[in-house]
Structure 1
């Protein structure tokens, strides 16, 4: 058991290293894409049907690709960005790419749920589009956006375990190399429990943050 603790600690750090940067980058890019979708859609603040169709199709394609296939498809791009296609740092690239369309759709849904009367009132008083987005839409949708970020984090933890199956490191890699290939059941159980703790912790923090942000 003493020899297992350092392995679990290192694998947990690798998982966090994969998930947290991926989540932050994906949230930034996905929010921008989600805002673009809500602005350019028919009836939006800046309707542009052709651009909306392109963005909408890109998001649908990105969401339809299974993550394991995306991992393989992105190997050349990952190697170009990070200099390698294996390891925790390399896994950040496919994790980010997989999360961006997911975040974009969640952000689009959250912003669509903002009452239209709120944005109309802002337009009446002369607010510009950036002001409406930054001071009306995003603040009003904050609880839903936090929920979306939480869902994305939980999904990335699952994806990171899958990345470990092809050399991405982290808890998934530990479970495969020791728990599965060496038939060490205690390692498999320990990694599963750690993943459950991570997911439950993220969900609890996300729910609490969303409740604090909801002033209704």
Structure 2
């Protein structure tokens, strides 16, 4: 396996993963906050809003990534141009975003649900409005859990890139499969696997380290 191909596969994996996670959080973070705020125990309960958006999230989470790739081909054609995206790493961005932003929303909702109610009540007593509670209490208090969730989401998205082979989008996992399955380069396959493991470990351990630094309760070991 030549160095140029290895570098290209690594870059493809990082680009499709990091860009997809960024967009997923731009969509999933506010959606998760909305689900938390509108829940029964939220600061602004709204059964209808919570039911509608909760149902959308549940439906998206129930669809496998491979099926999302197929379902979203029309949208991918609109965004990138019909036929122009096949074989390029960016063709996976839309399926990866849809596969992960609903997951992000649920993780954000759960992170905010862990916050002690007494902290919110204390903020209320000091005259904080809903927006101030969200931006100055809920999100800051949940930052450790949110960071842990970011690491988990990123690792999951890297795993989803294994489906990129179905639309020839490339990446390390697809390259490792091709080299190993067809038996053309066993050493190259193991090099790809090693790089994927290193990337995942850096993300996981980095996320855990910074989450621990941010966690006031120090419950993370």
TM-score bracket for the superposition, by shorter chain length: over 0.9
Residues 173 and 196, structure 2, Cα contact 8 Å, conserved in 1: no
> Counterpart of 1:201?
202
> Counterpart of 2:95?
94
TM-score (norm 2): 0.92
* 1:27 partnered with 2:28: no
**Secondary structure in 2 matching 1:21:** helix
**Secondary structure in 1 matching 2:132:** helix
CA-based RMSD of the aligned residues comes to 1.4
* 1:113 partnered with 2:114: yes
> Separation in 1 of the partners of 2:77 and 2:129?
42
Residues 78 and 90, structure 1, Cα contact 8 Å, conserved in 2: yes
> Separation in 1 of the partners of 2:184 and 2:167?
18
> Counterpart of 2:66?
68
Deviation, 1:9, is: 0.9
**Secondary structure in 2 matching 1:45:** coil
Deviation, 1:172, is: 2.7
Residues 180 and 188, structure 1, Cα contact 8 Å, conserved in 2: no
> Separation in 2 of the partners of 1:187 and 1:50?
53
Deviation, 1:213, is: 1.1
> Separation in 2 of the partners of 1:187 and 1:74?
32
Deviation, 1:181, is: 3.3
> Counterpart of 1:80?
78
Number of residue pairs the alignment of both structures matches:
214
TM-score (norm 1): 0.94
Say which is worse superposed, 97-106 or 158-167, in terms of deviation.
158-167
For structure 1, the residue ranges without an aligned partner over 5 or more in a row are: none
Choose the corresponding residue for 1:49, options 44, 47, 50.
47
Residues 75 and 85, structure 1, Cα contact 8 Å, conserved in 2: no
Residues 119 and 136, structure 1, Cα contact 8 Å, conserved in 2: yes
Choose the corresponding residue for 2:36, options 35, 38, 41.
38
Deviation, 1:99, is: 0.7
Deviation, 1:4, is: 2.2
Deviation, 1:204, is: 1.2
For structure 2, the residue ranges without an aligned partner over 5 or more in a row are: none
